[in-house]
Amino acid sequence: MGTSNSFVVYSSKGENMRLLIVFLTLLLILTACASPIQPTIAPTDVSEPESDAPALDGTFETSLLVTEWKGNTEGSVLYPLDPASGAALPNYTPISLGYSSYHAFSPDRQTLAVVSFPTETTYHGSLLLIDLPAWKTERFELELTGWVNTMVFSPNGKRLAIAHGESNYKVTMVNIEEGVITAQ
């Protein structure tokens, strides 16, 4: 056995491994000799695309609805926030949502339905309907029990299905216009 300065890989396919090493070495050398890629220069003659987004003007239409936790005594409150300033919109009294809540928007996005619970338990859940443009509320004591899993409005927005329960879930159907349970 002679001594060699080359790197030798022992394998059952020794010749194939040597060819692979030679190929990879040549590939590395060719890559190192290639000129670097130049950065792309941004075109300067491009105009800004027109946006359909409304201007943030501090009105309810351009606001965000946010909830804020006020502690165990007050629970969460809902109010419109001006995204440009980060401040609550004036003339909109925060609406109490209770300790825990679950919500759904009506198909026309004009009503927000909220099932809220007054304490950390899932007993005595009530339905709060919020007329968003008028910022008025109507509360219905449904006495729901169990966590709300999902809520969905009917396509015409006149009924609301609420899936709720603890270990066994049930569906409660509510007539929104009358505020009564129509099926359970």
Distance in angstroms (rounded) separating the CA atoms of residues 148 and 47: 49
Q: Which residue has the higher pLDDT, 51 or 127?
A: 127
| 100-184: CATH number | 2.40.10.480
Q: For residue range 55-105, what is the model confidence (pLDDT) as tens digits?
A: 777 788 888 999 899 888 888 999 999 988 889 999 999 999 988 888 899
Model confidence, pTM: 0.66
Place of tokens 């338990």: 121
Compute the C-alpha angle 72/78/79, nearest 5°: 135
pLDDT digits (tens, 9 = 90+) for 117-166: 877 777 777 889 999 999 999 998 877 778 888 899 999 999 999 888 88
**Domain regions of the chain by residue span:** 54-98, 100-184
